[in-house]
Amino acid sequence: MTSPTTNTTAQAADPLQAYLDRGLRNYWYPVAPSWQVANAPIGLTRLGDQIVLWRDKEGLVHALEDRCPHRGARLSLGWNLGGSVACWYHGIEVDGSGTVQRVPAVSACPLEGTKCVKSYPVQEKAGAIFLWFGDDAHKEPAPLVLPEELVGDEYSNFLCMSHWKCNYQYAIDNVMDPMHGAYLHATSHSMAEGDKQADMRVRKTDTGLMFEKVGQRDVNFDWVELGETGTLWMRLAIPYRKKFGPGGSFGIVGIAVPVDEDNCQVYFWRTRKVSGWQRDAWRFLYRNRLEGLHWAVLEQDRYVLESMAPNARNHEFLYQHDVGMTRVRRMLRQRAQQDVAALEAFNAEKAQAAASPDAAHAGHSHA
Ligand code: FES
Ligand SMILES: [Fe+2]
């Protein structure tokens, strides 16, 4: 099966697209479900970065670039010492801030006390580990505000995570496209009803935009919202049939996480506004019956996306119901533009500071 890979020729001509293809920085992204980070350090790739994660004795998760400062062995192959990780190759110990604490193979090594490994700010929320992927101009993380379905008491949720062999932009396109519900998922447990045709409209919200069918709501996949609150999330709801127990619609909050140019991870929290015994009933039903049905739907999405034509996004004929997707693409491109401009300004300032007489004097002492 050919995966919808990105077009390298187009990338050379369009550096903004090349940046977008690797993944937008300056957001929080979930990188692993909480259960995946236990005692042993784990190594993973997100936004093209190789990262090691481990959990200390207090339960706090630390994240560093997965590269030993000595000779570049993977720190994720090493040992969890609690506050630090020890390289398997020659034992260097690096703490969560990226500072070398100990170089056991030599005495008084100048590396000791040096902060020379990149570290990532970490937050654990809604059953997932979020890292801040700031570039040099945005090292300070933005506040991470998650939709109420993930943090509010009235809601209950299950986190479902999947690896898709396609660029993350296809995953965003897919969620920003409610019309596919009535076709791709037409035989599913939840999306068999409603019109096969719709006029769609976009409206702004406080945190992003809402894309919805005109004249049909609470029948099928009829609306989707995109929000930007320190992370880039999408939200939608599909009505549950009566037999799926008490409580409100079946909600989804999704975040598409770039792995590399041809792979992504999708985090879908499946949510329902239920409390008390009704919550217990939904959680029981979900585990025993609904989860399998929901997975079958998600697999249909994965199957279509992973088998799209090569460079599908470069050869399209879009029409009216694609307008939400187009708006989001434009918005992400704007973000890319802003990021690239901010980084250029930051680097120019740094270069200027380095070239100024004071800095030059401090930098070159001719003893
Ligand atoms: S490569 Fe890690 S201690 Fe040598
Ligand atoms: Fe879908």
> Could you tell me the sign of the dihedral formed by the alpha carbons of 301, 302, 303, 309, in that order?
positive
> Nearest ligand to the C-alpha of residue 305?
2
Q: Is the CB of 67 under 6 A from ligand 1?
A: no
> 31 CA distance to ligand 2 centroid (A)?
22
Superfamily of domain covering 30-133: Rieske [2Fe-2S] iron-sulphur domain (2.102.10.10)
Give residue 245's identity as a one-letter amino acid code. G
> 176 CA distance to ligand 2 centroid (A)?
10
> 119 CA distance to ligand 1 centroid (A)?
18
Domain boundaries, the chain: 30-133, 153-329
More confident residue, 244 or 163: 163
Residue 53: closest CA among 26, 72, 25, 34: 34
Ligand 1 atom 1, closest CA: 71
pLDDT at 219: 84
Ligand 1 atom 3, closest CA: 90
pLDDT at 196: 85
> 139 CA distance to ligand 1 centroid (A)?
27
Q: What are phi and psi of 147, to 5 degrees?
A: -55, 150
Ligand 1 atom 4, closest CA: 90
Residue appearing with tokens 């009235």: 154
> Percent of the chain at pLDDT above 70?
94
Average pLDDT, the chain: 92
Q: Is the pLDDT of residue 366 over 50?
A: no
pLDDT at 5: 54
pLDDT at 1: 46
Q: Half-sphere exposure (CA, 13 Å, Cβ side) for 208?
A: 25
Q: What is the pLDDT of residues 173-187, one digit of tens each?
A: 999 999 999 899 998
> In ligand 1, which atom is closest to the CA atom of 78?
2
> Nearest ligand to the C-alpha of residue 184?
2
> Nearest ligand to the C-alpha of residue 164?
2
Mean pLDDT of 295-312: 96
Residues near ligand 2 ion, CB 5 Å cutoff: 301
SS (HEC) of 91-128: CCEEECCCEEEECCCCCCCCCCCCECCCECCEEEECCE
Into which CATH architecture does domain 153-329 fall? Alpha-Beta Complex (3.90)
Residue 248: closest CA among 184, 157, 147: 157
pTM of the model: 0.93
More confident residue, 121 or 12: 121
Q: What is the pLDDT of residues 187-230, one digit of tens each?
A: 887 787 888 888 899 999 999 999 998 988 888 888 999 999 99
3-state secondary structure of 202: strand
> 50 CA distance to ligand 1 centroid (A)?
16
Angle 168-175/323-355 helices, nearest 10 degrees? 140
Q: What is the pLDDT of residues 186-195, one digit of tens each?
A: 988 778 788 8
Residue 271: closest CA among 289, 256, 283, 284: 283
For 304, which DSSP code?
H
Q: What is the pLDDT of residues 30-40, one digit of tens each?
A: 999 999 999 89
pLDDT at 363: 47
Q: Tell me how far apart the 2 most distant CA atoms of the chain are, in Å.
A: 83
Q: What is the pLDDT of residues 125-172, one digit of tens each?
A: 999 999 999 999 999 999 999 999 999 999 999 999 999 999 999 999
> Nearest ligand to the C-alpha of residue 188?
2
DSSP letters, 212-272, are: EESS--SSSS-EEEEEESSSEEEEEEEPPPGGG-SSS-EEEEEEEEEEETTEEEEEEEEEE
> 71 CA distance to ligand 1 centroid (A)?
5
Choose the weakest-confidence range: 3-12, 44-53, 106-115, 292-301. 3-12
